[in-house]
Amino acid sequence: MPLLAEVGVRSVPVVLITGAFTGMVLAVQTYSQFSKLRVANMIGAVVSVSMVKELGPVLTALILAGRVGSAMTAELGTMKVTDQIDAFRSMGIDPVRYLVVPRFLACVCLMPVLVVYSDIIGIVGGWLVSVKGLGVDPHYYWEHARFYTDSYDVACGLIKAVFFGGFISVICCYKGFSCGLGAKGVGRATTQANVGACVTVLVANFFLAVILWMIRSTFTQSVV
């Protein structure tokens, strides 16, 4: 339960803040261009699709890597330096099963939930700026957001979230188990885990986007 609270509940505030301001900025930048083309009412579609498919999963994963991943690496690294992991082995307890698997499951299961929160607050933030600040018709904002965002877009974002959570937990736990001796080794492992997890998320996002796009294209062609 403390692990679930650390990964999920305590990450909610920063996820909500990041998602809200991302949606707001996206609405402002979209309006500055769309108003020139007289299609400002399409802002809802851009904000919704962008948050659900890309920005929500990626930004939430980067937050999780920085906030939770670094803590996992530091915790496991400290346990290794103080010989606690060796103590588990001497008692016949598998440290991977006891320490890594719960963290992996917590990240994989809670990452999609955090992404849903980020998506919702991002779309609401975009609505707040578009309607209250820029004068966009609220009917068209929600209508276009609903029309252009389908269930497959939502599924793509959640699938990415599951993979991102798995990548972050595996990388950070591995760095914790393989860190060097002393405080310097723990600090270096934490930095490497944070950088490695963030880079992996960004690279994996591209390949997952391509794969999911190919699946959708294949399915669409088969139906037609």
pLDDT value for 135: 87
Exposed/middle/buried for 167, CB within 10 Å: 0-12, 13-18, 19+? buried
Q: How far apart are CA 47 and CA 151, in angstroms?
A: 16
Rg (CA), the chain: 20
pLDDT value for 216: 85
pLDDT value for 90: 86
Domain of residue 167: give its range. Answer: 2-223
pLDDT value for 165: 95
pLDDT value for 9: 87
Residue 106's nearest CA partner among 206, 215, 9, 223 is: 9
**136 neighbors 145 (Cβ within 8 angstroms):** no
**110 neighbors 7 (Cβ within 8 angstroms):** yes
Regions in the chain scoring below 70 on pLDDT: 1, 221-224
pLDDT value for 112: 95
pLDDT value for 222: 66
pLDDT value for 142: 93
Q: How far apart are CA 119 and CA 125, in angstroms?
A: 10
The total domain count for the chain is 1
Work out the angle at residue 84's Cα, subtended by the Cα atoms of residues 186 and 101, and round it to the nearest 5 degrees: 85
pLDDT value for 224: 54
